[in-house]
Amino acid sequence: MSLFERYLSVWVLLCIVAGIVLASLMPGLFAALAALEYASVNLVVAVLIWAMVYPMMVAVDIGALKGVGQRPKGLIITVVVNWLIKPFTMAALGVLFFEHVFAGLINPADAGQYIAGLILLGAAPCTAMVFVWSQLTKGDPNYTLVQVSLNDVIMVFAFAPIVALLLGVTDIAVPWETLVLSVVLYVVLPLAAGVVTRSRLMRRGGEGAVSAFTARIKPVSVLGLLMTVVLLFGFQGSVITGNPLLIVLLATPILIQSYGIFAIAYFWAWRWKVPHKVAAPCALIGTSNFFELAVAVAIGLFGLNSGAALVTVVGVLVEVPVMLSLVWFANRTRERFAA
C-alpha cells in the first residue's frame, strides 16, 4: 500500500472536518449541490461513486461469472445475513435503545420515528459502495458483482414486505425510480463501461494491461471517496452541529448493528473456510446500507423533517468511517482465511 492509502482513515477524518467547515463558510454552494438530485439520488455524489466503482468493474471477467455458482457459500451467507438477520436485529436494537436505554434522553413521541428509520436502513443492503470496500480488501470482483446483483433482485421482492412487517404498515410505496436509477448508475453503467474497457485492454496487452490500467486510475477512485465524504458531511453539517447529542444517540445502535453484522458474517465465512477475497466483501455487503433507498422511503412515509429521515441521514454519515475501520480489520486478518 502507498503512504496515501495507508493513512486513508486520516484523510477521511480531515475530509469530514472539511465538509462541515466548508458548509458553514459556503452554505449557498452546498445547498445548490444538494439540490442537484433526482429521485433522492444526488447527481454529484452519483458521479463520484461512479468514479469509485468503475475501476473494479474493469477487473470483472464476464466469462468467469458462471463459475461463481460453483462456490455458493458466500452467496448463502450474504442472503441469510442480509435478509433473515439484519432487518430484525436492527429493529430489536431500535426498540432497546429508544424505548428503554435512551428513553429519558429523547422525546417519547419521537421514539417510533427513530425505530422506523433504523428499520429502513436495516432492510436495504448496499448496492454501490460495497464495490469500493471490496476493492480495498482485494475482493474477487466477479463474486462481488454477483453478490450485489443477487441482493438487488431480492430487494425488489423482499424490501417492502419486510419493512411493512416490522413497521406494522400495510401500504409501503417502494420508490422504484430511486431503486432503478441507483442500480443503473452504480451497477449497470459502470459495468458496461468496465466490460468495454477491459475488452480493449485485453486485445492490446492481456491481463498485464488491465492491471496497469486499474493501478493508474486507482487514485481517481480514492479521490472520489474523499470528495464524497466532503459532500456528505457538508450537506448535513447543520444537522451535526445543531444537535450533536441526538446525532450520537442515533448513531449508537447503528454502530452496534454495523460491527455486529460484520462479525456474524465474517466469523461464519471463516468457520466455513470461505476464501478471504469472497469473505471480506460478503461481510461488508451486509454492514453497508443502500442509503438512497432508505432516505427516499423515510421521506415518503414520514416527511422530510421526520425523525425517521434524520436516522437515515445519520446512517449515511456513520457509514464511511465505520466501513473503513472494517476494511482495515479485514486486511489485517487476511492470513487467517483460506486461500
Per-residue model confidence (pLDDT) at position 254: 95
Residue range 31-39: mean pLDDT, rounded: 87
- Cell, residue 17: 472536518
Rounded CA gap, 52 and 183, in Å? 15
Q: How confident is the model at residue 276 (pLDDT cuts 50, 70, 90)?
A: very high
Distance from the Cα of residue 203 to its chain's centroid: 34
Q: What is the dihedral of CA 79, 152, 137, 252, to 10 degrees?
A: -80
- pLDDT digits over 86-110, tens only? 999 999 999 999 999 999 998 888 8
Per-residue model confidence (pLDDT) at position 339: 64
Per-residue model confidence (pLDDT) at position 315: 87
Residue range 237-244: mean pLDDT, rounded: 81
Angle at CA 141, nearest 5°, toward 137 and 146? 120
- pLDDT digits over 121-142, tens only? 998 888 778 888 998 899 998 8
Angle at CA 273, nearest 5°, toward 267 and 278? 80
Question: Which residue's entry shows cell 430484525?
Answer: 88
Contacts of 313 (CB under 8 A, 6+ apart): 236, 239, 295
Q: Is the pLDDT of residue 170 over 60?
A: no
Rounded CA gap, 134 and 238, in Å? 32
Number of structural domains (the chain) is 1
Residue range 34-63: mean pLDDT, rounded: 83
Q: How confident is the model at residue 26 (pLDDT cuts 50, 70, 90)?
A: very high
Q: Is the pLDDT of residue 2 over 70?
A: no
Q: Is the pLDDT of residue 292 over 80?
A: no
3-class secondary structure for 216-252?
Answer: HHHHHHHHHHHHHHHHHHHHCHHHHHHCHHHHHHHHH
Per-residue model confidence (pLDDT) at position 3: 58
- Residue 298, classified by CB atoms within 10 Å of its CB into exposed (0-12), middle (13-18) or buried (19+), is buried
The answer to whether the CB of 318 falls within 8 A of the CB of 117 is: no
Q: How confident is the model at residue 308 (pLDDT cuts 50, 70, 90)?
A: confident
pTM (predicted TM-score):
0.84
Per-residue model confidence (pLDDT) at position 330: 95
CA count, 13 A, side-chain hemisphere, 86: 33
Q: Is the pLDDT of residue 272 over 90?
A: yes
Per-residue model confidence (pLDDT) at position 309: 84
Residue range 162-183: mean pLDDT, rounded: 76
Q: Is the pLDDT of residue 299 over 90?
A: no
Residue range(s) defining the domain that contains residue 187: 3-336
Q: For residue 237, what is the domain's CATH number?
A: 1.20.1530.20
Q: Is the pLDDT of residue 242 over 90?
A: no
